[in-house]
Structure 1
Amino acid sequence: METSGKTRWQEGLSDELNHWRIWLSGGSEAFAGEGFDDYGWRTRPDSDLRNQPHLTRNLEPFAPEGATVRILDVGAGPLTCVGKEWPGRTVEITPVDPLADEYRTLLGELELTPLVATEEAEVEKLSEVFPADHFDLAYCQNALDHVYDPVLGARQMLEVVKPGHAAVLMLNVNEGERENYYGLHQWNFCREGDALVVWNHDGRVNLNEELSEVADVRFEPESTETLMVVALVKKVPAGM
Structure 2
Amino acid sequence: MVDAASAPRDLPSDLSERFELWAAGIPHELSFWTHWAKTRGGGWPAEFAERMNPETPLVPWLADWASKAELTHLRVLDVGAGPVTSVGYVPPAGMTMELVATDPLADAYARIFDALGLVRPVPTSFAPAEELSAFLPAESFDIVHCRNALDHSFDPIRGLTEMLRVVKLGGLVMLYHNPNEAEAEGYTGFHQYNFDVEEERFIIWRGAARWDVQTELPIRTRIRARRRGHVSVLIEKRKAFPPERDSRFRERFAETSRALMNLTIRRSLR
Could you say whether these structures have the same fold, taking a TM-score greater than 0.5 normalized by the shorter chain as the test? Answer: yes
2:53 matched to 1:44? yes
Q: C-alpha offsets along residues 103-126 of structure 1, whole Å, 9 cap, x if unaligned?
A: 110001111111011110000000
In structure 1, how many angstroms separate the alpha carbons of the residues matched to 2:66 and 2:192? 30
Quote the residue 2:60 is aligned against. 53
Q: Is the 8 Å Cα contact of residues 47 and 83 (structure 1) preserved in structure 2?
A: yes
For residues 157-168 of structure 1, the aligned pairs below 5 Å read 157-168=163-174
For residues 137-216 of structure 1, the aligned pairs below 5 Å read 137-201=143-207, 203-211=209-217, 213-216=219-222
In structure 2, how many angstroms separate the alpha carbons of the residues matched to 1:214 and 1:157? 14
AA partner of residue 65 (structure 2): N
2:27 is aligned, of 14, 27, 38, to 14
Quote the residue 1:230 is aligned against. 233
Shift of 1:17: 1.0
Shift of 1:92: 1.1
Quote the residue 2:79 is aligned against. 74
AA partner of residue 237 (structure 2): K
Q: 5+ residue gaps in structure 2?
A: 1-10, 241-270
AA partner of residue 232 (structure 2): V
Q: How many residues align?
A: 227
Shift of 1:195: 0.6
Q: CA RMSD in A?
A: 2.0
In 2 relative to 1, CA 103–63 (structure 1 residues): closer, same or farther, beyond 3 Å?
A: farther
Shift of 1:2: 7.2
In structure 2, how many angstroms separate the alpha carbons of the residues matched to 1:72 and 1:116? 11
Shift of 1:175: 0.7
Q: Is the 8 Å Cα contact of residues 188 and 200 (structure 1) preserved in structure 2?
A: yes
2:138 is aligned, of 132, 135, 140, to 132
Q: TM-score if structure 1 supplies the norm length?
A: 0.88
2:225 is aligned, of 219, 225, 234, to 219
Q: C-alpha offsets along residues 32-78 of structure 1, whole Å, 9 cap, x if unaligned?
A: 5xxx82111101111111xx2221233234343xx221100100111
Quote the residue 1:62 is aligned against. 69
Q: Is the 8 Å Cα contact of residues 170 and 237 (structure 2) preserved in structure 1?
A: yes
Q: Is the 8 Å Cα contact of residues 171 and 229 (structure 1) preserved in structure 2?
A: yes
Quote the residue 2:120 is aligned against. 114
In structure 2, how many angstroms separate the alpha carbons of the residues matched to 1:159 and 1:212? 10
Quote the residue 1:24 is aligned against. 37
In structure 1, how many angstroms separate the alpha carbons of the residues matched to 2:46 and 2:211? 35
In structure 2, how many angstroms separate the alpha carbons of the residues matched to 1:212 and 1:219? 18
AA partner of residue 235 (structure 2): L
Q: 5+ residue gaps in structure 1?
A: none
Shift of 1:202: 5.9
